[in-house]
Amino acid sequence: MKFFIDTGITEEIKEAQKRGWVDGVTTNPSLVAKAGKTHEELIKEICEVVEGPVSAEVLSLEAEGMISEGLELAKLGQQVVVKIPMGDEGMIAVRELASKGIKTNVTLVFSALQALLAAKAGASFVSPFVGRLDDIGSTGMVLIEEIRTIYDNYGFDTEILVASVRHPQHILEAALIGADVVTVPYGVLAKLSRHPLTQSGLDQFMKDAQKSIHT
Ligand code: G3P
């Protein structure tokens, strides 16, 4: 399973890269705003340090504007994947961009039928937001299971990019289901290597090592 990091903070990307956690990057308008840079500056900066896919989201709400924005974003780097919000206008844009060989990531997906539309439109990635579904008392990972089943039933190439990840359990369940990608905030990635028994075992080894005979 590929790990993308969900951030607009380049320093987080670099720290995660040291640990082998960055197969790609996803951004969105909220993350760009937090970065304190223009969208173009940020995407160019990320493309200078990341070889994998870099998702950059359009702001237009109509297909024509999405397409023209997407064409411009694609010029910022060969890694750029144009992020398009789910909707009728977005599907028109995805089809047009795909016909021009430009990769897309359909975002703000909350149902399996939306994911089916994204695949039929030729999206490279689909971003179902599991955390936001959990936030309203639904079960985000059930959506991932449904999408995995539908995509496998019909052989769609669209990659399932699990997004809105809130904790390590989302990553575990995504891997068990067979999602292609998870996009994860740095703070959640940083939790994955930790386990209380690992720490207590290491502490005990260090304590016992003090007792061993040193030549
Ligand atoms: O960037 C897409 C998605 O991962 C954002 O999720 O719910 O943390 O804003 P959220």
Q: What is the pLDDT of residues 63-100, one digit of tens each?
A: 999 999 999 999 999 999 999 999 999 999 999 999 99
Assigned token pair, 95: 């089809």
- How far CA 164 is from CA of 28, 59, 77, 140, 198, in Å, comes to 11, 19, 25, 9, 28
Nearest-CA neighbor of 139 among 188, 181, 173, 114?
173
Domain boundaries, position 182: 2-213
CA end-to-end distance (rounded Å), the chain: 46
Choosing from 9, 132, 184 the residue with most ligand 1 atoms within 8 A of its CB, the one to mutate for a pocket test is 132
Please, are residues 150 and 116 in contact by the beta-carbon 8 Å criterion? yes
- pLDDT exceeds 70 at position 215: no
Question: CA-to-CA distance for 108 and 126, rounded, in angstroms?
Answer: 9
Determine which one of 75, 83, 120, 207 is catalytic.
Answer: 83
- Stretch 16-39: mean pLDDT, rounded? 97
Number of domains in the chain: 1
> What is the percent of the chain with per-residue pLDDT over 70, rounded to a whole number?
99
- Phi (first) and psi of residue 126, to 5 degrees: -125, 135
Please, are residues 102 and 122 in contact by the beta-carbon 8 Å criterion? no
How much is the pTM? 0.96
Q: What is the CATH number of the domain that holds 120?
A: 3.20.20.70
Looking at residue 213, its pLDDT comes to: 81
> What is the percent of the chain with per-residue pLDDT over 90, rounded to a whole number?
98
